[in-house]
Amino acid sequence: MTKTLASEISALHARTQKSAARMIEREPYYEPIGSEIALFEAAYASQIPVLLKGPTGCGKTRFTEYMAWRLKRPLFTVSCHDDLTAADLIGRYLITNNETVWVDGPLAHAVRCGGICYLDEIVEARKDTTVVIHPLADDRRILPMEKHGELLHAPKEFLLAMSYNPGYQSVLKELKQSTRQRFVGIEFAYPGAALEKKIIMTETAVAPDIADKLIRLAEMTRNLKGNGLDEGASTRLLVHAGKLLARGIPAHAACVSAVAEALTDDADMLRAINELATSLF
């Protein structure tokens, strides 16, 4: 292998892994709702993979980042989609200068360096893809890489985590029992009003009365769940609305853009949320 090729390969490695892998340098802002931190730490110490369940925008990804920072492990996040193949997770051969070069996928890389691999929205991935994590997720803790002819043993520091929203999945996208029964499940819900207020104020620096109104609006949309909305407004949407408000966008426009339009396309529902927002501000 010539020197230039070696540097190209390392450049390739850097490119494929840069987006996903990172050490979290600064403490992410996270407000614990219950005992999730203790649970996560216990699972990590016992080398049991973790399944984070909860509606969208309730803080699953933020929690994972926080835990990666707390445990001082690099975090590899993979957003799952229905074209995600096993090769995307494990790695593949690429061609450079008439030679084939093996490039680790994020899962393999996380195993090698003892990081946390976080598979976001795991049910979006194809079922045959999910199966490759099975040997990693039980007490074998191995990752067979057939194409590369290598068998990776996960170090103690490695942790597999994935997130899953049980709320809106279709029957097609249920998690297989053989997959889910390998994990410790941690349930997330929207924080209570007081905590949610604190979160909104910390994240967006809006005034307390504005935060109160945003929370009222969230409650109203959560009342509509099952009556035309699949989900109520998440904490994340409230933070978005708060950020727009803090930048001087008028309250009504901020709520419509950050909350109503994000929740639904249905014209009547948009108008209804619009009316609710108008009533509050």
Q: Min. distance of Cβ 90 from another protein in angstroms?
A: 10
Q: Identify which of 193, 194, 226, 191 has the alpha carbon closest to the alpha carbon of residue 57.
A: 191
Where do contacts with another protein occur on this chain (CB under 8 A)? 85-87, 92-93, 95, 98, 100, 126, 147, 170-172, 193, 216, 219-221, 223-224, 227-228, 252, 268-269, 271-273, 275-281
Choice between 2 and 98, CB closer to another protein: 98
Cβ within 8 Å of residue 8, ≥6 positions away? 96, 97
Cα angle at 92 between 20 and 137, to 5 degrees?
65
Choice between 27 and 83, CB closer to another protein: 83
Q: Identify which of 39, 120, 129, 41 has the alpha carbon closest to the alpha carbon of residue 82.
A: 129
Backbone φ and ψ of 275, nearest 5°: -65, -40
Q: Min. distance of Cβ 261 from another protein in angstroms?
A: 16
Choice between 4 and 170, CB closer to another protein: 170
Q: Min. distance of Cβ 78 from another protein in angstroms?
A: 16
Q: Min. distance of Cβ 121 from another protein in angstroms?
A: 16
CA distances from 101 to 90, 149, 262 (A): 14, 13, 43
Choice between 179 and 221, CB closer to another protein: 221
Choice between 29 and 93, CB closer to another protein: 93
Q: Min. distance of Cβ 155 from another protein in angstroms?
A: 27
